[in-house]
Amino acid sequence: MIHTPVLLKEVIEYLSLQVGDVVLDATLGLGGHSFEICKEIGKDGTLVGIEQDSELLEATKLKIKDTGCKTIFINGNFRNLDKLLEPLEIKYLDAAVFDLGMNTAQLMCSGRGFSFQKNEPLIMNFKREVGSDDLTALEILNTWSKEDIFEILKDYGEERFARSISANIVKQRKVRKFKTTFDLVDVAERSVPVFYTKRRIHFATKTFQALRIAVNDELNALEEGLNKCWDLLKSDGRVVVISFHSLEDRIVKNFFREKKKEEAGIVLTKKPIRPSREEILLNPKSRSAKLRACEKI
């Protein structure tokens, strides 16, 4: 599968890497950014890659293993990076990158219901092996209250028809429980005006996005991950974050702004860096990306 890392040139520029650096890729994915990071830090450098999807992690290991740098791969969530790194005796990080976008492999090939284009079980959890204690989209749709579902769609999806969609979700599950993505697409389509189904953006996009964020507690995880990464970052170390959602970008902006206010950091991007027109033409999925960077002092 061809993978095009978003804002790659800009990520490398803002990380300002040196040979021998210890660098965290908190969202390893298919390793597009890590591949280039390894080339920059050389054989004396160390790349630490964290990925929640164990199957994706194994595939990416093979891609990066021959790039020359030392590599440490961890199956887990970056919100726990302090505990994940503790047994490795990594005392500090020179730089870190968070790419918060969904990669194509997760979106189209996971079998876990991230895409409204394929009929799959409504799981939406980033973890490959989902246990009984792990939240799924099925649990939300089939058991949560109408008001809680409405809040998810309104707050996380910024869905203008959240009220009617949540009401119809509750009506539908009384007739037949939700099982697959197409069950949800059908309800979403019946809950919005005709004009809404004819726009460039698919009418179910925001509903799926909101549920995914809720299932994986993405916003709280981001706050925790940024704080723990900052604690491990050495003086003059840099963290670069690429977000694709306004709520994520707000968290990153406020976090960096707070570090500046505390005189603990220098914000390197006064405004978020956006993909060039050329990059968007080559990789349309990059169009909503925003990059922010900060240096610890």
Categorise residue 135: left if φ over 0, alpha if ψ from -120 to 50, beta otherwise.
beta
Contact 75, 54 (CB under 8 A): yes
Between CA 36 and CA 171 the distance in angstroms is 50
Q: How far is CA 211 from CA 43, 120, 124, 156, in A?
A: 41, 15, 8, 8
Q: pLDDT by residue (tens digit) across 127-144?
A: 888 888 999 999 999 999
The tens digit of pLDDT for each residue in 53-112 reads 888 899 888 888 777 899 999 999 999 999 999 999 898 999 999 999 887 666 666 789
Cβ neighbors of 13 (< 8 A, separation 6 or more) are none
Q: Among 173, 156, 155, 165, which Cα is nearest to 192's?
A: 165
Two structure tokens written together for 93: 């990080």
Residue 106: its pLDDT value, please? 63
DSSP state of 180: B
In angstroms, what is the C-alpha Rg of the chain? 20
Helices within 156-202 (DSSP H only): 162-175, 181-191
- CB-CB contact of 120 with 111 (8 Å): yes
pLDDT at 1: 45
Task: State whether residue 283 is helix, strand or coil.
Answer: coil
- Checking if the pLDDT of 2 tops 60, the result is no
The whole-number pLDDT of residue 227 equals 98
C-alpha dist (Å) from residue 179 to 40, 106, 172, 197, 216? 46, 19, 12, 23, 19
Distance (Å, whole) CA 184 – CA 58? 31
Secondary structure of residue 290 in the 3-state scheme: strand
pLDDT at 55 (0 to 100)? 87
What pLDDT digit, counting tens, does each position of 198-221 carry? 999 999 999 999 999 999 999 999
Rounded-to-integer distance, Cα 177 and Cα 169, Å: 10
Domain ranges (residues) in the chain: 8-103+218-296, 136-215
pLDDT score recorded for residue 42: 95
- At 3, is the pLDDT very low, low, confident or very high (cuts 50, 70, 90)? low
pLDDT, mean of residues 173-187: 98
Amino acid letter for position 17: L
Average pLDDT, the chain: 94
> Are 236 and 264 spatial neighbours (Cβ–Cβ below 8 Å)?
no
Across residues 14-36, what is the average pLDDT?
95
- Mean pLDDT in residue range 144-148: 98
Q: Give CA separation, 216 vs 139, 205, 211, 266, in Å.
A: 13, 17, 9, 30
**pLDDT > 70 fraction of the chain, expressed in percent and rounded:** 97
CATH hierarchy code of domain 136-215: 1.10.150.170
Query: Are 293 and 239 within 8 A, CB to CB?
Result: yes
Given a cut of 60, whether residue 6 has pLDDT beyond it is yes
**CATH 3.40.50.150: does it fit domain 8-103+218-296?**
yes
Q: Give the pLDDT score at 188.
A: 98
Which pLDDT belongs to residue 250?
97
The secondary structure of residue 95, as a DSSP letter, is: E
Output the six-digit token pair for 55: 């199957």
